[in-house]
A and B are shown apart, each in its own frame.
Chain A
Amino acid sequence: MSHDHSHDHDHSELSEIELRVRALETLLTDKGYIDPPALDELIETYETKIGPKNGARVVAKAWSDPDYLDRLRRDATAAIAEFGFTGRQGEHMVIAENTEDTHNMVVCTLCSCYPWTVLGLPPVWYKSAPYRSRAVRDPRGVLAEFGVTLPEDKEIRVWDSTAEVRYLVIPERPTGTEDWPEEKLAELVTRDSMIGTGLALNPATLEVSS
């Protein structure tokens, strides 16, 4: 997209950062470093194709298929690639399984590392200073703000993702879902439950709403 930004009305309507991004985009486009249709394609991809529904399918299969869970444990990158979820910010995947004794939670204290291939782009809170500073020191306090209270004797295992390894939390499978098909199970898997700031939905809430 080409911009005409020498007019005063731009300055009266656009914020400093809007002008700054617009100027940079115009300059990089004029220099030929970037191709505007590719920018639109990048945005479209993360708006419509890559998001937490990918991860929910992985979790639902892990819950239903012991062989698949075994493949995830041995090589999560390859097992997740079976769905076609590969590449940027998912090059090296590892799963962290919640159990009766252990709850897993993921943070990147140094920036915003996040498994894009299975969860899409991270929410603002994940990238924010309050979450990044507190998740490693006071995870129970953080969980309380998300409305999650865990038994005091449950281990909380926090993963600080400093490298290119990306973690996908496999939440505990809710009871009462033993005969559910994968597609229906996936509806119980929220984005937050795969970061560890939430739990899988209660099946009763789903049955009421569907």
Chain B
Amino acid sequence: MNGAQDLGGQMGFGPIELEENEPNFHAKWEERAFAITLAMGATGSWNIDTSRHARETLPPPIYLSSSYYKIWTLGLEKLCLDKDLITKEELASGTAQDPAKPVKQILKADNVAAVLAKGGPADRPENAPARFKTGDRIRTKRMHPEGHTRLPRYARDTIGTIDAVHGVHVFPDANAHGRGEQPTWLYSVAFKGTDIWGPDSDPKLTLRIDLWEPYLDPA
């Protein structure tokens, strides 16, 4: 979706604020927001694409004015409500009222290292021949889907070249919406800066973007 998250090429955000010896967390609540988000992810109640979409669908003024872990917190509240793990009344009061819903797993301290080491690989067995090979010229689709997508706006309807074939990966546009993983080929696509940004682009700029096969047409 064309949400506030799709920041590539937007202007007016000002200089980058650098911090000497930056800590991982700037406050206790950030630590807790980080940890509860990961622990709830481990319950298996949603996937990474669903959680990205939950954050992306925050209203733009809220998304853009919230710090990173606040966005995580608001996204987590939304996911817990959407999956009926908690009710609005419970969230408002901070007190459990209804019995908990069964979840696939509760993360225990002893298990943290193993769960992190395993991660969540997104590659899947090949299910069809790849449509493109390295060196092929493609054009990205002109599209503005209302649902989740990982084709950034700045790279739509643009000519590029397949730079690498990553294999078959879970398709976020489907997986974010409970339509299954629908695994499809994932490519690294190379673009010239001038093909994306026009004549004002740095002439020595090239970009590589990971893009799924349904985003691409032969050029």
Chain A nearest CB: distance from B148 CB in Å? 10
Query: A142 in the interface, Cβ–Cβ < 8 Å?
Result: yes
Chain A nearest CB: distance from B182 CB in Å? 14
Place the interface of chain A in its size category: 35 or more
Contact between chains at A42 and B34 (CB < 8 Å): yes
Please pick, from A32, A111, A129, A158, the residue contacting B52 in the complex, using a CB distance under 8 A.
Answer: A111
Dominant SS among interface residues on chain B: mixed
Please pick, from A40, A88, A145, the residue contacting B116 in the complex, using a CB distance under 8 A.
Answer: A88
Cα(A159)–Cα(B164), bound, Å: 13
Chain A interface residues (CB < 8 Å from chain B)? 3, 5, 15, 17-18, 20-28, 30-35, 37-43, 45-47, 50, 86-92, 94, 107, 109-112, 117, 120-121, 123-125, 127-134, 136-140, 142, 145-146, 152-165
Q: How many residues of B contact A (CB 8 A)?
A: 93
Number of A-B residue pairs with CB-CB distance less than 8 Å in the complex they form: 265
Contact between chains at A28 and B40 (CB < 8 Å): yes
Q: Which of B145-171 contact A (CB under 8 A)?
A: 150-152, 154-155, 164, 166, 169-170
Cα(A18)–Cα(B115), bound, Å: 27
Chain A nearest CB: distance from B177 CB in Å? 16
Contact between chains at A156 and B27 (CB < 8 Å): no
Contact between chains at B209 and A24 (CB < 8 Å): no
Cα(A27)–Cα(B172), bound, Å: 30
Contact between chains at A142 and B119 (CB < 8 Å): no
